């Protein structure tokens, strides 16, 4: 049996963890630069707040209904996510981390307990050891477990744990689920399925394999097999190698000066290079992009990008920053109010398998040791405790986060104080 462990209203739950007075009160979390609503507690959902609602349009409504509003605190969310996943990996040997707030777990058949009992134990342990509420959906395949998790979260009668295989009315349940809600079925696939009279998960389960494979491909055929209880999507305990790493942000206010853009791009490169090293990867290409606001029609617009092919694949911050600065200078157009900048690393490969340049010396041991020392210091004392001078000090271009909560678990200066 497979279980999907899904953290309930994850960002909002993280904010409540250190402020229990927020329990049963509506809570929302905003996107970068406090732009729009990206997470809601159940109480906020009941007020009719929708994902993507612009914050500036909802300010009066939020104040009127006593809604607690937070800027995104990714350091806190990432750390608590890691704690949840660590608990799951201690409980069961086979775990696939699917996203920041979801993980698939294979439940042992010979445990002497029912699947629901195992799910309740997982829920209880995560709540006790981390404090984040979770829902657990269980099925004979990952796709069925995903559907079961949705039911476990929305139907309070199941106490947060639901096993689809134990339900006598499985056909009725599948017939009530729209096909676009099935894991792996996208917008275009939904349109093609609807054109053939396939509107629900039950319709898809009973569809013709040959037509599905011909029109929608092998991945959708696997989804059909999964809906029939035949495991076709394996558990990925070791995630596949990433194809790219992106680091970008919108600025709190438009930026016109090249110096400020250099600081921002240098900072983003440092973040992306650290991600590469954590995953044991190197990059062969670096892309830099700039853009003005696409929503404003009263200002001149610009959007562009440039790519640098690196002399040899690397995860070292210094050569990446040098390449990024060269491309930024060529990309920059004076006079434009830039709203966003970012970088993307592509051509990724395992560091141990990198293809060296025949005409250049290999990366020195000293450079690898330097990067390891920088990462260790920042891991211990917090991001940017040690950083490149090109990333700037004042950083007036940084994100707007006027309602950000403390980094309770990752910053010594922001630890919660017990009185």
Number of domains in the chain: 3
Residues 103 and 199 in one domain: yes
- For residue 407, tell me if it sits in a domain: no
What's the confidence (pLDDT) of residue 237? 65
**Same domain for 82 and 218?**
yes
3-state helix, strand, coil in the chain (%, to 5): 45, 20, 35
Q: Is the pLDDT of residue 245 over 80?
A: yes
pLDDT (tens digit, 9 = 90+) per residue, 167-186? 777 888 899 999 999 998 98
119 with 213, same domain: the answer is yes
Please identify, among 53, 73, 93, the residue that sits at the C-terminal boundary of a domain: 73
Do 340 and 271 share a domain, yes or no? yes
CB-CB neighbours of 4 under 10 Å: 28
Provide the b/e sequence for 29-44 (b: ≥16 CB within 10 Å): bbbbbbbbbebbbebb
For residue 20, tell me if it sits in a domain.
Answer: yes
Q: For residues 129 and 417, give the distance between their C-alpha atoms in angstroms, rounded to a whole number.
A: 20
In terms of residue numbers, what domain contains 45?
Answer: 7-73
What is the reported pLDDT for 222?
92
> Between 379 and 291, where is the model more confident?
291
Q: What is the pTM of this model?
A: 0.79
**At 414, is the pLDDT very low, low, confident or very high (cuts 50, 70, 90)?**
confident
pLDDT at 238: 64
396 within a domain of the structure (yes/no): no
Residues 45 and 83 in one domain: no
Tell me what the mean pLDDT of segment 216-233 comes to: 90
Distance CA 90, CA 92 (A): 6
Is position 399 within any domain? Answer: no
Residue 41: which CATH number?
3.40.1170.60
Same domain, 266 and 214: no
Q: Are residues 85 and 163 in the same domain?
A: yes
Which tokens go with 324?
């990024």
Residue 2 forms part of a structural domain? no
Cβ-based neighbours of 166, under 8 Å, separated by 6 or more: 114, 115, 116
Residue 23 has φ and ψ, to the nearest 5°, of -60, 135
In this structure, are 49 and 89 located in the same domain?
Answer: no
| DSSP at 21 | G
Q: Tell me the pLDDT tens digit for each residue of 293-305.
A: 887 778 888 999 9
Could you give the CA distance from residue 55 to residue 69 in angstroms, rounded to a whole number? 10
Closest C-alpha among 129, 120, 140, 132 to residue 1: 140
Give the confidence band of 100 by pLDDT, cuts at 50, 70, 90. very high
CB 4 within 8 A of CB 107: no
In this model, does residue 415 exceed pLDDT 90? no
> Around 246, how many Cα atoms within 13 Å sit in the side-chain half-sphere?
6
Assign residue 319 the CATH number of its domain: 3.30.1490.100
pLDDT tens digits for 360-411? 888 888 888 999 999 999 888 877 888 899 988 877 777 677 788 988 888 8
Whether 257 and 289 map to the same domain: the answer is: yes
């Amino acid at each position: 049996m497979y279980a999907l462990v899904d953290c309930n209203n994850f960002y909002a739950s993280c904010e409540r963890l250190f402020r229990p007075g927020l329990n049963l009160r509506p809570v929302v979390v905003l996107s970068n630069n406090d732009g729009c609503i990206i997470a809601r507690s159940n109480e906020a959902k009941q007020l009719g707040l929708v994902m993507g609602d612009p914050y500036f349009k909802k300010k009066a409504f939020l104040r009127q209904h006593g809604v607690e509003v937070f800027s995104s605190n990714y350091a806190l969310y990432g750390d608590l996510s890691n704690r949840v996943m660590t608990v799951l990996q201690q409980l069961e040997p086979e775990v696939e981390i699917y996203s920041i707030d979801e993980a698939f777990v294979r439940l042992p058949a010979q445990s002497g307990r029912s699947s629901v009992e195992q799910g309740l134990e997982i829920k209880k342990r995560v709540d006790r050891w981390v404090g984040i509420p979770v829902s657990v959906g269980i099925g004979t395949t990952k796709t069925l477990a995903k559907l079961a998790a949705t039911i476990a979260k929305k139907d309070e009668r199941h106490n947060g744990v639901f096993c689809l295989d134990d339900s006598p009315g499985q056909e009725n349940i599948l017939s009530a689920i729209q096909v676009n809600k099935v894991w792996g079925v996208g917008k275009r696939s939904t349109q093609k399925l609807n054109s053939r009279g396939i509107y629900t998960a039950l319709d898809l389960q009973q569809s013709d394999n040959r037509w599905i494979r011909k029109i929608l491909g092998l991945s959708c055929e696997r989804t059909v097999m999964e809906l029939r209880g035949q495991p076709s999507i394996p558990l990925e305990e070791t995630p596949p190698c990433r194809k790219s790493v992106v680091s970008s942000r919108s600025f709190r206010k438009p930026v016109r000066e090249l110096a400020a853009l250099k600081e921002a791009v240098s900072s983003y490169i440092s973040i992306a290079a650290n991600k590469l090293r954590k995953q044991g990867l190197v990059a062969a290409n670096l892309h830099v992009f700039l853009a003005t606001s696409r929503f404003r029609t009263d200002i001149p617009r610009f959007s562009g990008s440039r790519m640098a092919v690196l002399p040899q694949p690397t995860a070292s911050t210094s050569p990446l920053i040098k390449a990024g600065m060269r491309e930024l200078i060529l990309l920059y157009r004076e006079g434009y109010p830039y709203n966003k900048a970012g970088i993307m690393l592509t051509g990724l490969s395992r560091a141990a398998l990198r293809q060296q340049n025949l005409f250049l010396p290999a990366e020195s041991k000293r450079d690898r040791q330097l990067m390891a020392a920088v990462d260790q210091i920042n891991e211990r004392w917090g991001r940017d405790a040690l950083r490149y001078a090109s990333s700037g000090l004042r950083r007036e271009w940084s994100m707007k986060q006027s309602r950000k909560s403390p980094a309770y678990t990752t910053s010594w200066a922001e630890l919660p104080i017990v009185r």
